[in-house]
Amino acid sequence: MALIFLFSSFSHPPIPQSSWILSDKFLHSIEYAVLGFLLAWMLVKASPQVFPGFPWIVGLSVAVLFGASDEWHQSFVPGRSADVYDWIADGAGSALGVLVMYLWHRFSNKHS
């Protein structure tokens, strides 16, 4: 999360601009997929099971809320702006990351 915040603080973040696969929305999705995966993994490993969907719902919620706060933060950075489509990409990436962690956790528990 600190790394995302740091890169959001740059007026011109150091990202390649040459290929469609490295589009702004694609990069948002990838970084938040990693965040969603790591948050869900942390919650699976470190928290008691309050209810069955706890790691998945909380992991996704924290990632999506952080995405909103990141967009708000960017609105104060010169040369940057808040973009609802970036937040949608953040949310989609977060959901993908949490889903991958869920499937990995479910698959690994069936075969252990």
pLDDT tens-digit readout, 17-47: 655 556 788 888 999 999 999 999 999 988 6
User: Which residue would you say has higher pLDDT here, 18 or 50?
Assistant: 50
**Distance, CA of 42 to CA of 26 (rounded, Å):** 24
User: For residue 7, is it within any domain?
Assistant: no
User: For residue 1, is it within any domain?
Assistant: no
With 90 as the cut, is the pLDDT of residue 91 above it? yes
Residue burial 19-36, b: 16+ Cβ < 10 Å; e: rest? eeeeeeeebbbbbbbbbb
User: For residue 13, is it within any domain?
Assistant: no
User: For residue 76, is it within any domain?
Assistant: yes
User: For residue 14, is it within any domain?
Assistant: no
User: For residue 95, is it within any domain?
Assistant: yes
pLDDT band for 6, please (50, 70, 90 cuts).
confident
Residues 47-51: what's their mean pLDDT? 71
Which range of residues forms the domain containing residue 83?
23-110
User: For residue 10, is it within any domain?
Assistant: no
Task: Tally the domains of the chain.
Answer: 1
100: left (phi over 0), alpha (psi -120 to 50) or beta: alpha
Confidence (pTM): 0.84
